[in-house]
Amino acid sequence: MIQVIYGKKGSGKTKRILDMANHAVDEQHGDVVFVDDDNRYMFDLRHEVRFVNAGEYNMRSAEMLYGFLCGMLAQNFDMKVVFIDAFLKLIKTDINEIGWFFDSLNAYSENHGVDFVLCISEDGEKLPEFVHPYFI
């Protein structure tokens, strides 16, 4: 399952995704991972949440992020939920051009039992239609 938290900057998206990640530790029977573009929220997460600073890996596209996620998940089959903050900063791509990313991520989720929660800094009505089914 994919879930998308969306809204303008300052609307409380990051606090919400941090709270969700911290609560997931108690609810999931597997590893919880939080991916961000820098280290600023590392200490806001419980120590059981695996924090990954994806900004250290010089990603330049949605393809690179997808490959990064697949590689990370291939090395740890115990991951059950991956939270991704600052999604648009990580992909550095126009969101209108990445319908394939959501299709691929959704297929991975269904085939491997991993949930994804993405945080997107944009108004819901400005996001493409292929993102709308994942809104929470």
Which CATH number applies to 2-134: 3.40.50.300, 3.60.15.10, 3.40.50.10260, 3.20.20.70? 3.40.50.300
Cβ 73 vs Cβ 108: under 8 Å: yes
Instruction: Give the helix/strand (H/E) hosting 7.
Output: strand 2-7
Residue 12 structure tokens: 């409380």
Q: What percent of the chain stands above pLDDT 90?
A: 98
Beta strands in 16-136 (DSSP E): 31-36, 50-53, 79-84, 115-121
Stated pTM of the model = 0.96
Q: Are 115 and 82 in contact (CB under 8 A)?
A: yes
pLDDT in tens, 82-122: 999 999 999 999 999 999 999 999 999 999 999 999 999 99
What percent of the chain stands above pLDDT 70? 100
Mean pLDDT of the chain: 96
